[in-house]
């Protein structure tokens, strides 16, 4: 049997109390230009954190060169703040997290599991490398090749991980497009990532309504084609900590086409029973940690 497990921010937050919310990230900003713009947005009644981030990252009405440069600087500083907030995350209880990963996220002879994560963090990668498991990533930035079912080493149990919105340890060689042959992967250790973040931003798709700007090039085209193939091929889907945020409408529309394959959705809260109305009893309102450990 082939199973797709989709992870959202609620998964990371369940196992790491350090995992920030959007509000936490906005509150941590020290850049004066960003703070000024956030203050102006709040003055005109924009207080929803997702909308604030979207407005900060939107340069639709910037036309002259100076305004475009200033807008790009704000984008850079905001994405850098987002990335740094995830760079040193650790599991609160490493032993518990390890057992959960082995039980729920690792393929076995009887069941092939593919993980599709919207998270930028490296909790799963850190765990897998710490116990010397090879990680065949569906999109593999080490070699610029897509995973094609080739056997990696002698392990019968393995991870397959597809990061749908990028990762804080993916970077591009040249700042033009996020192309497959222009992307590289650095060591998962926090000190290595922070060294890069002092002068670079990683390849991530931030929580914004207008994602097209950040999904340029063929990298995310390939990743999402893989996702589409997986949705078609797997026998069942489980969603953990992903509440279908308003900024991800296209994702909701894609997953809705395969809703009969969705066996359960574990989320901590469901405002206005939005998901219960669509998926019924398959929605479990609880902290992911309570269900998985």
Q: Is pLDDT above 50 for 141?
A: no
**What is the average pLDDT across 113-119?**
91
Q: Mind listing the pLDDT tens digit for each residue in 221-269?
A: 888 888 998 999 999 999 999 998 888 888 988 999 999 999 999 999 9
| Helix (H), strand (E) at residue 240 | strand 236-240
**What is the average pLDDT across 109-128?**
86
Domains and CATH numbers, the chain: 2-18+89-292 (3.40.50), 22-86 (no CATH)
What's the whole-model pTM score? 0.87
122-125 own/partner pairs: CB under 8 Å, 24+ apart: 122/89, 122/167, 122/168, 122/169, 122/188, 123/12, 123/15, 123/16, 123/89, 123/90, 123/91, 123/97, 124/159, 124/161, 125/161, 125/169, 125/188
| Helix (H), strand (E) at residue 171 | strand 170-172
Whose tokens are 């969705």? That residue is: 262
pLDDT of residue 92: 95
pLDDT of residue 218: 85
Q: Is pLDDT above 80 for 150?
A: no
Q: Is pLDDT above 50 for 82?
A: yes
3-state secondary structure (DSSP) of residue 239: strand
């Amino acid at each position: 049997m082939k199973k797709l497990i989709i992870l959202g921010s609620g998964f990371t937050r369940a196992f790491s109390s350090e995992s920030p919310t959007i509000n936490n990230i906005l509150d941590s900003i020290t850049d004066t230009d960003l703070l000024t713009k956030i203050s102006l947005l709040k003055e005109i009644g924009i207080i929803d954190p997702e909308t604030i981030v979207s407005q900060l990252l939107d340069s639709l009405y910037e036309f002259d060169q100076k305004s475009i440069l200033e807008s790009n600087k704000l984008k850079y500083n905001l994405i850098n703040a987002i990335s740094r907030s995830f760079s040193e995350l650790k599991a609160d209880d490493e032993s518990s997290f390890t057992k959960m990963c082995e039980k729920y996220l690792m393929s076995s002879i009887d069941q092939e599991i593919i993980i599709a994560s919207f998270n930028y963090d490296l909790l799963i990668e850190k765990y897998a490398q710490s116990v010397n498991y090879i990680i065949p990533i569906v999109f593999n930035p080490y070699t610029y090749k897509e995973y094609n079912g080739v056997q990696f080493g002698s392990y019968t149990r393995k991870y397959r991980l597809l990061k749908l919105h990028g990762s804080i340890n993916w970077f591009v060689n040249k700042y033009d497009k996020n192309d497959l042959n222009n992307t590289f992967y650095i060591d998962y250790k926090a000190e290595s990532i922070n060294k890069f973040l002092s002068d670079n931003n990683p390849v991530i798709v931030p929580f914004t309504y207008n994602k097209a700007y950040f999904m340029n090039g063929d990298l995310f085209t390939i990743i999402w084609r893989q996702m589409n193939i997986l949705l078609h091929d797997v026998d069942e889907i489980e969603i953990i900590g992903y509440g279908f945020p308003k900024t991800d409408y296209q994702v909701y529309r894609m997953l809705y086409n395969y809703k009969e394959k969705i066996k359960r959705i574990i989320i901590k809260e469901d405002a206005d029973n939005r998901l219960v109305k669509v998926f019924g009893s398959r929605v479990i309102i609880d902290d992911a940690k309570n269900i998985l450990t």
